[in-house]
Amino acid sequence: MSDGFPGPRPIHGDSVRITTDTASTTFTGTITSQGVLRDGRGCVELTLPGADPQQRRDLEQASSFRYDRSRDGARFYPSPQLVVRETRREKDGALVVTGSP
């Protein structure tokens, strides 16, 4: 299990459990997280497979979240609590959530 904040190289997994201030949900499929710099602040971009409309709304309306990433059934990264900085949809339907500590 990694204790460090995600760096600039993408990290892949096959499931993630996201807990927001109002809901908790699990996404399965291709999950990617990557450290990025936004406005001089270290952030993580979490790219999720296309979400159903309610999951998307829950994330878009959240003010904070944390996530537990897994690969092949093994948990390998528990995030700290993150403030939601941005949510967006990619052209392929993926949902991207950007957060910072």
Long-range CB contacts for residues 9-14, cutoff 8 Å, separation at least 24:
9/34, 10/34, 11/69, 11/77, 12/71, 13/69, 13/70, 13/71, 13/76, 13/77, 14/70, 14/71, 14/72
Global pTM value: 0.82
Percent of the chain whose predicted confidence (pLDDT) is above 90: 38
Name the H helices within 1-101. 53-61
Average pLDDT over the chain, rounded to whole?
Answer: 86
Can you give the residue ranges of every domain in the chain?
A: 11-100
State the Cα–Cα distance between residues 84 and 101, nearest whole angstrom. Answer: 9
State the Cα–Cα distance between residues 63 and 85, nearest whole angstrom. Answer: 8
pLDDT of 50 reads 76
Residue 11: pLDDT band (50, 70, 90) is: confident
pLDDT of 2 reads 45
pLDDT tens-digit readout, 14-63: 999 999 988 898 889 989 999 998 888 889 999 998 767 888 788 888 99
Range 11-100 classified under CATH 3.40.50.1000: no
